[in-house]
Amino acid sequence: MSAEILEWEAGTLALGPAAVALGVFDGVHIGHQALIADAVARAAELDILSCVMTFDRDPDQVLTPDRAAPQLLTLEDKIKALQGLGLGAIVIVPFCRLVAEMAPDRFVSDVLSDTLRPVEVFVGRDFRFGRSASGNVTLLERYGGAHGFKVVARELLSVDGVPVTSTRIRQLVASGDVAAARDLLGRPHIVRGRVVHGRAAGRQLGTPTANVTPVKHAAIPANGVYSGCVRVGETRYSAGISVGSPPTFPEARDYLEAHLLDFEGDLYGAEIGLEFRERLRDQHAFDTPEALAQAIRGDIDRISGTVGDRGGERGPCE
């Protein structure tokens, strides 16, 4: 059964009692998943509602928009990722100036407690909340005592001796190591965007591409050629994805393109999702269009044989 999706508005919700996982959850990575699984399991033990409370955007997009970090998921994809974790409800808090200016005690009373009647609240050990991120786990525990809930603060999950964080995953994506990012996310990194008209150079080379304008704040991998999948509605197609202006065509402005294998149709104007699975090679210039076409055919051969090849998986996007 899918989780109920609710938008917080002061005084309008009265859920609970509940075991609540609280956080921004940018990426819904394997550390987030483990924390949420603890909340779901505890809710089952107590026979109460399991819930995530999260924000509709990265708070930095409101507080410091010029320095906001690239985002690993759109809100739509974050909700989809959360939907697969066995929750009873997902409460989305619109992060606006009103919420940003709430003192920590007001956030707990007006947003958390009034909405959910929490019994236990699960957070990461580094959790911060309230105006200027002035609230921490110790303060949350104090407020929990006053409002009748227990705080369960988990240490960050580590992989290879390093904590799994959204910052670490963004760095992997930015460096082009999408395979390592996939391991920490528990799924491929996805970039959503809209298909626009391009140069039609791919079509002339026999490999038509969808030129994509990504959504704002998307975390774009380093320049290069990648194997992956493209989501068109509910269908996924194996694809080669190029990031960066193609050096063979120095006048080109296109920098995010995807060639979908076994796809026929018109994608112009469609919103699609690009899943990055493995980096195949750098971008580099070719002496002739024919040499570029040959390299692209080689990329396609690799993609058709290896998309999904991680941890024993092989085969097309399904």
How far is 30 from 165, CA to CA, in rounded Å? 9
pTM, rounded to two decimals: 0.87
Pick the more confident residue, 318 or 232.
232
- Domain 165-306 top-level CATH class: mainly beta
β-strand 118-124 against 210-214: which pairing, if any?
unpaired
Q: How far apart are CA 276 and CA 215, in angstroms?
A: 16
Task: Decide if pLDDT at 247 tops 70.
Answer: no
Say which CATH architecture domain 4-156 belongs to. 3-Layer(aba) Sandwich (3.40)
**Residue 313 predicted with pLDDT over 50:** no
Cα 45 to Cα 291: distance, rounded to the nearest angstrom: 62
Residue intervals in the chain for CATH 2.40.30.30: 165-306
Q: What is the pLDDT of residues 141-176, one digit of tens each?
A: 999 999 999 999 999 999 999 999 999 999 999 999
Euclidean distance between CA atoms 76 and 91, whole angstroms? 13
Q: How confident is the model at residue 314 (pLDDT cuts 50, 70, 90)?
A: very low
Cβ atoms 149, 120 nearer than 8 A: yes
Note the pLDDT of residue 310: 45
Exposed, middle or buried, 37 (CB in 10 Å: 0-12/13-18/19+)? middle
pLDDT per residue as tens digits for the range 2-34:
899 999 887 777 787 999 999 999 999 999 999
Q: To 10 degrees, the CA torsion angle through 101, 105, 109, 112?
A: 70
Cis peptide upstream of residue 17 (ω within 30 degrees of 0): yes
SS3 assignment, position 201: helix
Q: Mean of the pLDDT values across residues 104-130?
A: 93
pLDDT computed for residue 285 by the predictor: 59
Which two tokens mark 174?
């930015």
Q: pLDDT tens for residues 197-219?
A: 865 554 444 567 899 999 999 99
CATH 3.40.50.620, the chain: domain bounds? 4-156
pLDDT tens-place string over residues 249-296:
445 455 899 989 888 888 999 999 999 999 998 876 554 556 556 666
